[in-house]
Amino acid sequence: MQLFPCPFCGPRNEREFHYVAEPGKTRPDTTGDITAEDWAAYLYDTKNEKGPVREVWMHLTCRELFVMERDSVTMDVLGSKTLRRTLPAEGAA
């Protein structure tokens, strides 16, 4: 059982987290024309790296969406950072 650092709550048991996606995929502006290839790439393509990775996770209990850096082989957690621009009250981590 792993411990993931929620940027707001601090370290919590992995059961409280949900993997969301790889970061860096911006939703295309769908009011304009988008090729089927670009849309499929946005929807489906992954880097799926072996080793250090950056991923978007959700802390289910506080619903914080954040970027976590970890190693997909050793499971070491390297850090986490909120996706929020404004930080009215800094969390425990």
Partner 1 sequence: MRDDSQSWAPPPDHSQPLHGAGVTVTRILPVRQTLISAPDILTRQPAALGWPDVATGDRYSLCLRRDRVLEINGPERAAGWHDGQAISDITDGLIVFEIAGAAALALIQRGTEISERQPSRSVQRLGFGTELMLYRWEDRLRLHAPRADGPALWHRLKAHLDLMG
Partner 2 sequence: MNKTYSALNLFREGLRGQRGWAPAWRSPKPKPAYDVIVIGGGGHGLATAYYLAKVHGVRNVAVLEKGWIGGGNSGRNTTVVRSDYYYPESAALYDMSVRLYEGLSRELNYNIMLSQRGMMILAHSEAEMEIAARQVNAMQINGIDSQLLDTEGVRKLAPILNFDRGARYPIHGAMYQGRGGTARHDAVVWGFARGADRLGVDIIQNCEVTDVIVEGGRVTGVATTRGEIRADRIGAAVAGHSSVLAHMAGYRLPIHSYALQAFVSEPLKPVLDTVVLSPGHGTYVSQSDKGGLVFGGGLDRIPSYGQRGNLPVQETVIGGLSEMVPMFSKVKLLRHWAGIVDVTPDSSPIIGPSGVEGLYLNCGWGTGGFKAIPVGGYMLAHILATGRHHDLSRPFDLSRFTRGRLIDEGAASGIAH
Partner 3 sequence: MSGRRLSQGGLIDRSRLLRFRFDGRDFTGHPGDTLASALLASGVRVMGRSFKYHRPRGLWGAWFDDPNAVFNVRLRGDELPNCPATTTALVDGMQARAVNAWPNAENDLKGGLDLFHRWLGAGFYYKTFMWPDWHLFEPSIRKMAGLGAVDGKAIDGYVADQLHDDCDLLVAGGGAAGLAAARAAAEAGYSVVLADDHPTLGGSLYQGDEPIEGEEPQAWVAAQVAAIRAAGGRILTSTTVFGLYDHGLAALAEDRGFARAPRLWRLRARRTLVATGAMDRPITFADNDRPGVMSLQGAAEFLGRYGVLAGQRIAVLSNNSHSAPIVARLRAAGAEVIEADPAEGAPRALGGKRLSGVQIGARKIDCDTLLVSGGLTPTVHLWRHAGGKLDWSAEKAAFVPGAGPDHMLAAGAANGTFDLDPALAEARAAALGTPHATGASGYRVRPLWPQPGSKGRQWIDFQHDVTLKDVELAARENYVSVEHLKRYTTLGMAADQGKTANMAGLAAMAAIQGRPIPEVGTTTFRPPFVPVPMELYHGTRRGQAVNPLKRLELEPQHRAAGAAMGEYGGWLRPAWYGPEDQSAITAEVQAARQAAGVFDGSPLGKIEVMGPDAAAFVNFIYYNTIATLEPGHIRYGFMLRENGLIFDDGVIARLAEDRFLISCSSSHVAGVEAMLESWRQDGNDPDRIFVHDTTQHWATITVTGPQARAIVAALDTGADPATLAHMTLTEGRFGDSPLRIARVSFTGDASFELSVPASRAADLWQAVLAAGTPLGARPIGLEAMSVLRAEKGFIMVGKDTDGETMPHDLGFDVPRRKKKAAFVGDRALQTEAANAADRRQLVGLRVADSGTVLPTGAHIVTGDGPQRSIGFVTSSYFSPTLDRPIALALLESGQQRIGDRVQLRHLGQSLSATVTAPCALDPEGERLNA
Residue in 24, 27, 48, 90 binding partner 3, rule: CB under 8 A: 27
Q: Output 15 or 84, the one with its CB closest to partner 2.
A: 15
87 sits near partner 2 (criterion: CB under 8 A): no
From the list partner 2, partner 3, partner 1, none, pick the one residue 58 interacts with, judged by a Cβ distance below 5 to 8 Å according to partner type: partner 3
Region binding partner 2 by CB under 8 A among candidate stretches 24-32, 58-66, 71-79, 80-88: 71-79
Confirm if 53 and 70 have CB atoms less than 8 A apart. yes
C-alpha–C-alpha distance, residues 90 and 88, integer Å: 7
Length of the chain equals 93
Interaction partner, residue 68 (partner 3, partner 1, partner 2, none; CB < 5-8 Å by kind): none
Q: Are 12 and 59 in contact (CB under 8 A)?
A: yes
Q: Do residues 67 and 79 make contact, with C-beta atoms less than 8 angstroms apart?
A: no
